[in-house]
Structure 1
Amino acid sequence: MHSILPFLLAMIAAIVLLQMLATKLKIAYPILLVVAGLLVSFIPGLPVVRINPDLIFFIFLPPLLFEAAWSISFKEMRKWWRIISSFAFLVVFFSALSVALFTNYFIPGFSLALGFLLGGIVSPPDAVSTGAITKFVKIPKSTSAVLEGESLLNDASSLIIFRFALVAVGSGQFIWQEATLTFGWMIIGGIGLGLLLGWIFVQAHKRLPTDAPSDIALTLIEPYFMYWIAEQLHSSGVLAVVAGGLFMSSRRLIFLNSSSRIKGYSVWESFVFILNGIVFLIIGLELPEITEGLRSKGIPLGTAIGYGVMVTGVLILARIISSYAALITTLIFRPGVAPRVTSIKRRLLLPILLGWTGMRGVVSLAAALAIPVTLDHGIAFPHRNLILFITFVVILLTLLLQGLTLPYLIKRTQLFTGLNEEPEEETSHRVKQKLRAHIYQFLKNKHENESSDHKIIEKILQHWEEKTKAADDDWMSEKTKAIFIEMLESQRQFLAELNKDPSINEEIIRTQLYQIDLEEERLKII
């Protein structure tokens, strides 16, 4: 323990430094973390980082999925649910099928079950990598919503494929009737349990005398509870966490106070950043050990690299084909919701860019490391080291090849320039104008008959308009403070209604809600 602790602390320090360097260089930090992990792994004398395959999902996936469910815009998911569903389920299955057929044909001794196992591992694109890369280029909110929604749901679909393939490899058979019932229970049970547990946790936050530290502590353990209970009942823990997270996220204004929301945002941002950083470093650190495993099995390194490159090509091609199929289907059946572009050339280029966003990362690594070393009867798991190596090659190539070139391709093709989408600054200005009009009308309607408080209300309005940072003790009485807090709550309700406007980006609404929380916290210390 004393030898591994300094190494773990050094890992966290390296993650922070590499993230700052990546920001300066304007590249996605997962790319630097993977490369750094690979370079560090060749330093002699470092402790070997090993994670129990049975714990890899439980440690990393629940909090990462829970945070993603809280961050995503549910409004945009509902708007683009058809294309999100097709990418999250149909595209993942098509990618897994393509990998299964390819590996079964080209890799000696690779059965279809093993091919589907590998396909389930490498089929889901990584949300962290895509988000880290696209923040350096401007993309429409519709494209961003599709990528975020896909990344939230495709983890569940790919891991369901992974679980079924794992059973097929272990038992040597696949019974369709049982698989259909199990598949239905995994989806329905996972979503149902997630919603039920989400409701229970919301009630616990509302009814228990919690404060900010206890609220945050509860949110840190809640995704683990959702995942563990669902898995114990043999349903999908991933879907349980996603469904429960979305349910709780939509009610955050009800069961969390302003202090819990502000402090919880910072805690979760740091927690998830460290978890992601550790996983991407492990990707690089584990690669030399996997290559040793290949040599012990007599598989030439060049041959294994060739398999990894070809599987990566199959995945990219399958995703691009799926993107064109989704676009054609949308144009035929739902032309009104098709992506808006200014020319036929741009419409033809859009699926290529969507296909090029398929960087792999955390979930693929977690699934690969979760493969058991031996089967139930003690025999070594077939081709485990080769599957791990191919997974690492896919992650490395997609991060380096697609991750480094995607920003350049978006800028070079100018695909998203000249769109009729309202600039974020104008939308934000429009929201603030409506909010100020609402504040004025609220105060006028509620207090116009209270003549003794006219001067106080004028000062409140002046305070809001000018956003002054200092408080005047002469007029900030307890009664004035109560009026101010009531006004802030009215703003929250107004913004919740305004968020139903499809033309307004939910991120802008959340930014304004965050500002209101800060105002309320400042009032508490006056």
Structure 2
Amino acid sequence: MGVGARLLPRRNLMVLKAEGLVNDGTALVVYGLAVGVTVGEEHLGVLHVSWLFALSYVGGVAAGGLVAWLGVLVRRRVSDPLSANLVFLLIPFGSYLLAESTGSSGVLAAVTAGLVISQTSPTTGSAEARRQIVASWSLGTFLLNGALFVLVGIEAQSAVRGLTGTTLARGLAMVVVVALVLSGTRIAFLFVSAYLIRAVDRRPQQRARRVSGRARIVSGLAGFRGAVSLAAALAVPVTLDSGEPFPDRDLIVFVTFGVIVVTLLHGLVLPGVVRWARLPDPAADGAEERLAHETLLRTALAALPEAAAEVGADGELVDRYRLELEAALADLAASGSPDAFGRDPRDTALHLALLVRKRAALVRLRAEHRIDDTVLVALETRLDIEELRLTHPEAVD
């Protein structure tokens, strides 16, 4: 993921992230059914398996949506940043537990809740709460991923010791075969699905979203793998319901670990493949940022009289603001530099009133699909920091 973030255009990266969420959820639903059948908790049957699959999907999405909706209601009524942070952290875990208690997919519930929260966060809660949430969640994700890789390293050693020489050789061969099948299947699916969509959907909007065959090769090699596969391998039960050992558990853990290592090596060849595919330079992904900055500045300029009347600002201050905003627009047009957010005006009330309107304009751009979530998060962060400098200067100094 880190290599892809530096090499791929933002559009390609966003597609890969979205695919990862859906693919992980689907894979874990299938995985749960397979484990249930193996240990004896479930039985094979077209109708039964279809019902369990539908229940996992529909129930997981419903549970995630319900908990996220309740979480948004609570966050709108909580003003304390620490309490808001606690509510935010409880939403994915609450979604997971509710879904699992009903026999649905907890992973899909957590994914659904995350999507809902990502859409509502810009308009929910305070700037201070959002900054705390981002910092704590990033640390928590890093610690969880680190702990997961440590655990699988321990498990891999145990798995290798549990394999005989013949089984170890078979495991190494399976690592190569599974890695090739995974990469080949993913690339083939990207081509087949693209042509099926083209045959069904001929709208101009769909044509505008098409990518080249070389770009699909890059997407096939850059797919995210790792944490979820590791967690699935660790979650394989040690014994069956009968008390007998789970068949080939050590081999499953070893092959999973080996395939992850092999597929991570794609990062070594990815730079060359990206150059071969002639993808746009990620550094050129600045059009949406410039659009967003210009829109925010023009929004503030247009809303200046209304905001000034709302807070009772005097004419001299309004004139100074107008000159600053016009100068920032001129700088943006001349150099493309977004250096328009670091100002510290004397009148806090007027500045905060303009920030409210800027934030609303930013959310509107995302709703109109004129900017993506990456741009929204980047500019929202700057608006939040600017607000904290005015309301809580000790938090950013």
TM-score, normalised to structure 2's length?
0.86
TM superposition shift of 1:324 = 1.6
What do residues 371-395 of structure 1 show as CA deviations (whole Å, max 9, x unaligned)?
1111011011111111111111111
- Taking the aligned partners of 1:221 and 1:154, their CA distance within structure 2 comes to 24
Query: What residue is the counterpart of 1:382 in the other structure?
Result: 247
**Pairing partner for 2:122 from 244, 250, 253:** 253
**Pairing partner for 1:199 from 62, 69, 89:** 69
What do residues 464-494 of structure 1 show as CA deviations (whole Å, max 9, x unaligned)?
648586857xxx3xxx422221211111111
**Pairing partner for 2:134 from 250, 257, 265:** 265
TM superposition shift of 1:446 = 4.8
Count of residue pairs brought into register by the alignment: 378
Cα 1:422–1:283 change in 2 (3 A) is closer
- Taking the aligned partners of 1:381 and 1:339, their CA distance within structure 2 comes to 50
TM superposition shift of 1:278 = 2.8
TM superposition shift of 1:338 = 4.8
Does residue 485 of structure 1 match 2:352? Answer: yes
Does residue 352 of structure 1 match 2:222? Answer: no
- Taking the aligned partners of 2:280 and 2:362, their CA distance within structure 1 comes to 29
Does residue 313 of structure 1 match 2:184? Answer: no
Structure 2 counterparts to residues 114-129 of structure 1, below 5 A:
none
Query: What residue is the counterpart of 1:151 in the other structure?
Result: 20
Structure 1 counterpart of 2:98, one-letter code: I
Gaps of 5+ in 1: 1-130
1:373–1:381 Cα contact (<8 Å) kept: yes
What do residues 418-465 of structure 1 show as CA deviations (whole Å, max 9, x unaligned)?
8xx993333322322222111111013454799971012233445664
Structure 2 counterpart of 1:386, one-letter code: L
1:359–1:398 Cα contact (<8 Å) kept: no
- Taking the aligned partners of 2:90 and 2:341, their CA distance within structure 1 comes to 39
- Taking the aligned partners of 1:290 and 1:490, their CA distance within structure 2 comes to 58
Cα 1:165–1:441 change in 2 (3 A) is same
Query: What residue is the counterpart of 1:46 in the other structure?
Result: none
Cα 1:518–1:153 change in 2 (3 A) is same
Structure 1 counterpart of 2:36, one-letter code: V
Query: What residue is the counterpart of 1:276 in the other structure?
Result: 145
Structure 2 counterpart of 1:213, one-letter code: L
Cα 1:375–1:180 change in 2 (3 A) is same
Query: What residue is the counterpart of 1:496 in the other structure?
Result: 363
Structure 2 counterparts to residues 217-256 of structure 1, below 5 A:
217-256=86-125
1:410–1:416 Cα contact (<8 Å) kept: yes
Query: What residue is the counterpart of 1:432 in the other structure?
Result: 293
- Taking the aligned partners of 1:358 and 1:452, their CA distance within structure 2 comes to 53
1:190–1:239 Cα contact (<8 Å) kept: yes
Query: What residue is the counterpart of 2:269 in the other structure?
Result: 405
Structure 2 counterpart of 1:215, one-letter code: A
- Taking the aligned partners of 2:237 and 2:375, their CA distance within structure 1 comes to 45
Structure 2 counterpart of 1:226, one-letter code: S
- Taking the aligned partners of 2:367 and 2:313, their CA distance within structure 1 comes to 37
Instruction: For residue 144 of structure 1, give the secondary structure of its aligned residue in structure 2.
Output: helix
Query: What residue is the counterpart of 2:334 in the other structure?
Result: none
Query: What residue is the counterpart of 1:181 in the other structure?
Result: 51
Cα 1:338–1:170 change in 2 (3 A) is farther
- Taking the aligned partners of 1:467 and 1:417, their CA distance within structure 2 comes to 27
What do residues 42-91 of structure 1 show as CA deviations (whole Å, max 9, x unaligned)?
xxxxxxxxxxxxxxxxxxxxxxxxxxxxxxxxxxxxxxxxxxxxxxxxxx
What do residues 162-189 of structure 1 show as CA deviations (whole Å, max 9, x unaligned)?
1111122123840222222222221111
Cα 1:180–1:427 change in 2 (3 A) is closer
TM superposition shift of 1:322 = 1.1
1:495–1:509 Cα contact (<8 Å) kept: yes
Compare 330-339 and 237-246 and name the one that shifted more.
330-339
Cα 1:234–1:290 change in 2 (3 A) is same
Gaps of 5+ in 2: 329-338
Cα 1:182–1:394 change in 2 (3 A) is same
Structure 2 counterpart of 1:308, one-letter code: V
1:364–1:391 Cα contact (<8 Å) kept: yes
Cα 1:231–1:439 change in 2 (3 A) is same
Instruction: For residue 104 of structure 2, give the secondary structure of its aligned residue in structure 1.
Output: coil
Greater RCO structure (CA 8 Å; 6+ sep): 1
Structure 2 counterpart of 1:424, one-letter code: D
Structure 2 counterpart of 1:347, one-letter code: S
Structure 2 counterpart of 1:455, one-letter code: E
- Taking the aligned partners of 2:341 and 2:383, their CA distance within structure 1 comes to 14
1:324–1:351 Cα contact (<8 Å) kept: yes
- Taking the aligned partners of 1:375 and 1:398, their CA distance within structure 2 comes to 31
CA RMSD of aligned residues (A): 2.7
1:330–1:338 Cα contact (<8 Å) kept: no
Structure 2 counterpart of 1:388, one-letter code: V
Cα 1:299–1:371 change in 2 (3 A) is farther
Cα 1:313–1:446 change in 2 (3 A) is closer
TM superposition shift of 1:252 = 1.1
TM-score, normalised to structure 1's length?
0.66
What do residues 123-147 of structure 1 show as CA deviations (whole Å, max 9, x unaligned)?
xxxxxxxx21212213251x22221
**Pairing partner for 1:326 from 172, 193, 199:** 193
